[in-house]
Amino acid sequence: MDVLQPVIRPYAWGSRTGIAELQGRPVPAAGPEAELWMGAHPSAPSVVVRDGAAVRLDAVIAAAPDRELGAECAARFGGRLPFLLKVLSAEAALSIQVHPSRAQAQAGYQAENAGGLPIDDPARNYVDDWPKPELLCALTPFEVLAGMRTPADAMELLRTLRIGRLRAAGVELALAGGAQDALGCALASILSWPAGDRGALIDEVVVACSRVTSGPYAAACAAIARVAEDHPGDIGIVGSLLLRHAVLQPGEAVFMPAGGLHAYLHGTGIELLANSDNVVRAGLTGKHIDVPELLKLLDPAVAVPVLHPEALGGGVVRYGDRAPEFRLFRVDLDGGAKALPGTGPRIVLCVSGAVVLRNSAGDTVKVGRGESAFISAADAGVSGAGPGQVFVATAGL
């Protein structure tokens, strides 16, 4: 077992308080802190101390994959830790984005390599050949746009807003037939809006949203108005109309499969995903945008229900069973030792109190609030004792 030295990603949309507060550092932080990475992705691997030396976790795993991952996990995932655990803390809206399936990621990665695009080129969509299903569990109220509305719901919202330009361009007409692929057509029409008229369309949408102060679309319209403050002049503001709006309460979660359109808006949460950083964006960002590729990956029918944890007894809950790369558990440790859920490699993140982890050989590590540890497959019989609460990420074996 190893205490992790995670990596903070300072993306511009990050909060200056969420991660710092969790780690017990002074707030506000000196700059935005968007994501805390705990894992072995090669672009930002955590560090562990082995034999008195600081070593990257991906290097540790590569040196002995069967020992660190277990033979089954190593064989199934090519000797790679299959998941990446994050704390995500958003002060401003993230980009509108989708993630690829495994086949799409492999094809896209190979094509960009064959085209001679350097791995660190900002124009790359695919920085690895892995899919990126992900699960977001709220630590604070967390506002999201996740999944597309039904055609009927999108049509009703546009009728409520009475946006003349969208009606004249046939966007409402495209939705009127009710076919699910009409959503993709409507999104394509919005994202390809003539540059000379985009500003006027965005202004019209923001003014229309500001008029909606009651009814079923009031919260979504207020969110879009706030997004417009974060990303003025971005056509993604208009595209956001087609996305479902929700506010997750602490302990609630959403699972985002391949092809699901989404944008996280505000809050702090636990994010567990396949060990990938493949993102294809359509708006609300200064990073590379590739609308044709996003539309190719988009699946408008992807449903994104709010997930509630499944109680397994003894203070342990599980968040679904939806991806082969990962599972997420939350464990309340009330003082007595309790076996940790999961098998194979695990990462444990303490979110309250302080926890002592012990394996069957009697080795121990202590993790306080905001700290994390890597448990290799060779660490048998690991238990935790609090008081405290931890999230446990493990492979979906």
pLDDT (tens digit, 9 = 90+) per residue, 283-309? 999 999 999 999 999 999 998 989 999
User: Mind listing the pLDDT tens digit for each residue in 87-138?
Assistant: 999 999 999 999 999 999 999 999 999 999 999 999 999 999 999 999 999 9
Q: Which of 178-182, 292-296, 318-322, 348-352 has the lowest mean pLDDT?
A: 178-182
| Measured distance CA(96)–CA(301) in Å, rounded | 16
**Average pLDDT over all residues of the chain:** 95
* 281 annotated active-site: yes
Place of tokens 């709010």: 306
211-266 pLDDT, tens digit per residue, is: 999 999 999 999 999 999 999 999 999 999 999 999 999 999 999 999 999 999 99
* Gap between the Cα atoms of 351 and 369, Å rounded: 5
Q: What pTM, to 2 d.p., does this model score?
A: 0.94
Task: Answer whether 278's CB lies under 8 Å from 178's CB.
Answer: no
What count of other Cβ atoms lies within 10 Å of the Cβ of residue 389? 18
Report, as an integer, the average pLDDT of 170-193. Answer: 84
Give 342-380 pLDDT, tens digit per residue: 989 999 999 999 999 999 999 999 999 999 999 999 999
Q: Is the pLDDT of residue 169 over 90?
A: no
pLDDT of 180 reads 74
Pure H helices in 242-367 = 291-297
Nearest alpha-carbon partner for 147 in 220, 208, 233, 42: 220
Nearest in space to 396 (alpha carbons), one of 316, 329, 304 = 329
The 3-state DSSP class for residue 97 equals: strand
pLDDT at 397 over 90: no
* Residue 260 near residue 299 (C-beta atoms within 8 A): yes
> Span 138-159, mean pLDDT?
95
The contacts found for 232-236 with CB under 8 angstroms, 24 or more apart, are 233/198, 233/199, 233/202, 234/202, 234/283, 234/284, 234/285, 235/190, 235/191, 235/193, 235/198, 235/201, 235/202, 235/283, 236/95, 236/96, 236/191, 236/263, 236/282, 236/283, 236/284, 236/285
**Joined tokens for residue 219:** 């919260």
Q: Are strands 53-56 and 243-248 parallel, antiparallel or unpaired?
A: unpaired
Instruction: Give the pLDDT confidence score for residue 335 in this predicted structure.
Output: 73
Domains observed in the chain? 2-145+249-307 (2.60.120.10), 149-240 (no CATH), 310-394 (2.60.120.10)
Query: Does residue 177 register a pLDDT over 80?
Result: no
∠ CA 307-309-314 to the nearest 5 degrees?
175
Q: Which of 9, 281, 327, 346 is catalytic?
A: 281
pLDDT value at 171 more than 90: no
Q: Residue holding tokens 């207020």?
A: 222
Summarize the confidence of residues 33-44 as an average pLDDT. Answer: 96
Q: What is the pLDDT of residue 292?
A: 95
* SS3 category, 196: helix
Rounded to 5°, angle at Cα 220 from 214 and 226: 105
SS3 label, residue 208: helix
**For residue 38, which phi and psi values (nearest 5 degrees)?**
-125, 100
